[in-house]
Structure 1
Amino acid sequence: MTHHQAEDESRFERGQKALSRIDGKGGEKVVASLADIAPDFARYLIEFPFGDIYCRPGLDLRSREIATIAALTALGNAAPQLKVHVEAGLNVGLTRTEIVEVIMQMAVYAGFPAALNGLFAAKEVFALHEEGSGTEDIARS
């Protein structure tokens, strides 16, 4: 095994642990759903965002999820990913109030339609969270 392969395994293993801790079953389902169409992309999703970026020391996971929720809300066209990350925000200690405030803040920069879409996505996650089903259903939407 070359040094590069060993390093890639390290990124992959680190990414799997981070994905599980942050996104839980919702993130794992997203990765699994790519297995039959783009398994390499599933691996990249684990290695780069989770193995490299989320594991950097400069921000804690709460701060990273605030940034991610804000960015996905501002995009306005990423509701499935936003739902997974709203659940992730709850997983890493964000309150519903903090999540709602982050999404509302995006109305200033991304417009009311993006903020409305984000609020409705969060509302759906919160309702599923209350039912105890978590992101299993969210990842499929």
Structure 2
Amino acid sequence: MTNTQASQTSHGNLRYERGLAKLQEIDGEGGVKVVESLADIAPDFARLLIEFPFGDVYSRPGLDLRSREIAVVAALTAMGNAAPQLKVHIQGALNVGVTRTEVIEIIMQMAVYAGFPAALNGISAAREVFAADDKKSAQSLAEPRALAEEAI
């Protein structure tokens, strides 16, 4: 291996490690599942997905994660054709401190620039994310109760 190849490999690994850490900080399990789903068919794409957006862009100092996720939810809503990605980033926005009310307001704002159909699709995606989040929260609350009841 030449010095240039070693440097690229080392640099690539740092980008990947930084990106994976940032992805986990934002999306937790959800983001990792997306990457894992690509491993058998497009592992290079999965690596690029970690290195570029999360290792390079999300890791920049100019904006906090909350602001970045607000921008991503707005952009994906405006696109109108990226529901799976929008759902992941709505959850990511919630994970980094954006409230449900703010998510809905962001999506409603996009109706002005991207049209009502895109905003309606975004609201539908938000509804699904909120419902899944509520279900997960209810299960988390029920587990300690069930354990306490078993102990009695």
Common fold by TM > 0.5: yes
Query: Rg larger in 1 or in 2?
Result: 2
Aligned match for 1:113, one of 111, 117, 124: 117
What residue is the counterpart of 2:60 in the other structure?
A: 56
What is the CA-CA distance between 1:105 and the residue it aligns to?
Answer: 0.2
**Aligned equivalents of 2:96, 2:118: Cα separation in 1:** 24
What is the CA-CA distance between 1:83 and the residue it aligns to?
Answer: 0.2
**Aligned equivalents of 2:21, 2:116: Cα separation in 1:** 36
Greater relative contact order: 1 or 2 (C-alpha under 8 angstroms, separation 6 or more)? Answer: 1
Aligned match for 2:98, one of 75, 84, 94: 94
The amino acid across from 1:96 in the alignment is R
Superposition TM-score, scaled by structure 2 size: 0.86
4+ residue stretches of structure 1 with deviation over 3 A? none
**Aligned equivalents of 2:108, 2:34: Cα separation in 1:** 26
The amino acid across from 2:39 in the alignment is A
Q: Which moved more, 1:1-10 or 1:25-34?
A: 1-10
What is the CA-CA distance between 1:5 and the residue it aligns to?
Answer: 1.1
What residue is the counterpart of 1:47 in the other structure?
A: 51
What is the CA-CA distance between 1:122 and the residue it aligns to?
Answer: 0.2
**Matched residue pairs, number?**
133
Aligned match for 1:34, one of 20, 34, 38: 38
**Aligned equivalents of 2:81, 2:33: Cα separation in 1:** 20
Superposition RMSD in Å: 0.9
Deviations 1:27-65 (A, max 9, x none): 111000001110000000000000000000000000000
What residue is the counterpart of 1:16 in the other structure?
A: 20
Structure 2 unpaired stretches of 5+:
138-152
Alignment map for 1:1-12 (pairs within 5 Å): 2-12=6-16
What is the CA-CA distance between 1:6 and the residue it aligns to?
Answer: 0.7
State the identity as a percent. 70
The amino acid across from 1:95 in the alignment is T
Task: Identify the structure with the greater helix proportion.
Answer: 2
What residue is the counterpart of 1:138 in the other structure?
A: none
What residue is the counterpart of 1:79 in the other structure?
A: 83
